[in-house]
């Protein structure tokens, strides 16, 4: 059986820690470590949850060596997260430009209305 190797490999491929996986299956990270070392085998309800989390059939999870397969492309949720982060970065860049413009306007206003203060501030 490949179950213990598969759990570890699939968990790492998702970028999850043992603690992350343990929270997803309502077990302790120690139990996840025991699964990965082959010390204990997950009960059927946990196997079903793992197969769902990793997007595999129960047969694939338990019987196949999934580490021998070619790496899969990013999952749709990862691609969506990447897209969301890129959009957030663009928003932050726009906000930064607006803040720079506003700061420049404020500096100009201080120089015009309070030249003495502008001199002390080094504007």
DSSP 9-59: HHHHHHT--HHHHHHHHTS-HHHHHHHHHTSS---HHHHHHHHHHHT--HH
- Reading the block at residue 64, the tokens are 């196949």
CB 38 within 8 A of CB 10: no
Question: What CATH number is given for 3-68 in this structure?
Answer: 1.10.260.40
**Is 53:38 a contact under the CB 8 Å cutoff?**
no
| Percent share of the chain, pLDDT over 90 | 64
Angle at 52 between CA 46 and CA 15, to 5 degrees: 95
- Average pLDDT for 40-55: 92
Q: Say how many C-beta atoms besides its own lie within 10 A of residue 51's C-beta.
A: 18
Q: Quick one: pLDDT at residue 72?
A: 54
pTM over 0.85: no
Average per-residue pLDDT in the chain? Answer: 88
**Model confidence at 122, in pLDDT bands (50, 70, 90)?**
confident
Instruction: Indicate whether 69 pLDDT > 70.
Output: no
pLDDT of residue 81: 82
* Domains in the chain: boundaries: 3-68, 76-121
């Amino acid at each position: 059986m490949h179950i213990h190797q598969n759990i570890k490999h699939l968990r790492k491929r998702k970028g999850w820690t043992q603690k992350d996986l343990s929270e997803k299956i309502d077990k302790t990270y120690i139990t996840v470590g025991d699964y990965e070392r082959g010390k204990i085998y997950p009960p059927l309800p946990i196997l079903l949850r793992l197969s769902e989390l990793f997007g595999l059939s129960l047969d694939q999870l338990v019987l196949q060596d999934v580490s021998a397969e070619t790496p899969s492309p990013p999952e749709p949720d990862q691609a969506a997260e990447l897209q969301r982060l890129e959009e957030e970065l663009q928003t932050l860049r726009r906000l930064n430009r607006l803040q720079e413009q506003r700061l420049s306007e404020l500096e100009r206003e201080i120089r015009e209305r309070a030249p003495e203060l502008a001199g002390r501030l080094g504007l």
